[in-house]
Amino acid sequence: MLDVILIIISGLCMLAGLAGCILPFLPGPPIAYLGLVILHFTDKVQYTTTQLIVWLLIVAVLQVLDYFTPMLGSKYSGGSKWGNWGCIIGTLVGLLFLPWGIILGPFLGAVIGELLGNKEFSQALKSGFGSLLGFILGTLLKFVVCGYFCYQFIVGLVR
């Protein structure tokens, strides 16, 4: 009976993890990882210590990258320090206006930052789009990792 409860909780963690890839107030990959750890404590599925540690490291790196990919996108699209700071501030302000703020915040922040740094509007837009692409890349990476965790969950239960 306890295994059934743990499997249900683990499955709910998987669903919440996938939702967290889009919803910024839910840390998707850590919740999905927690689901795998909970599933590990059932008699049905046993993961190796190495698997659990590697997955934990992937989640940790992904969580750090998630905050930096918009800035990296801005930087690699020709953005300056003004654009990077604008992207950071826009991300923080965007958190106040969920869900669209988390998408538009880095973009608008990078554009405004570049404009304040005396860049031309076209270059400011390029930096803003770079930050948007960075955000999309970070979201895609979260989906890949959570999708893999869901796959591991299903394979573990089918065996």
Q: Please write the tens of the pLDDT for every residue from 48-102.
A: 999 999 999 999 999 988 878 877 887 778 778 888 888 878 878 887 887 788 7
6/75 Cα distance (integer angstroms): 44
Range of the domain at 87: 2-158
Residue 26: per-residue pLDDT: 84
Residue 95: per-residue pLDDT: 78
Residue 68: per-residue pLDDT: 80
Residue 135: per-residue pLDDT: 81
Contact between 110 and 74 under an 8 Å Cβ cutoff? The reply is yes
**How many distinct structural domains can be found in the chain?**
1
Residue 85: per-residue pLDDT: 83
21/52 Cα distance (integer angstroms): 20
Residue 96: per-residue pLDDT: 84
* Total-model pTM: 0.80
- 49-76 and 81-94 are packed helices; what angle lies between their axes, rounded to 10 degrees? 120
Residue 140: per-residue pLDDT: 93
CA–centroid distance for 65 within its chain: 8
Contact between 90 and 67 under an 8 Å Cβ cutoff? The reply is no
Task: Quick: pLDDT tens for 25-40.
Answer: 789 999 999 999 999 9
Token digits for 118?
């005396």
Residue 134: per-residue pLDDT: 85
Task: Quick: pLDDT tens for 98-144.
Answer: 778 878 888 898 899 889 988 888 888 888 888 888 888 888 999 99
Residue located via tokens 């659990």: 52
Contact between 114 and 123 under an 8 Å Cβ cutoff? The reply is yes
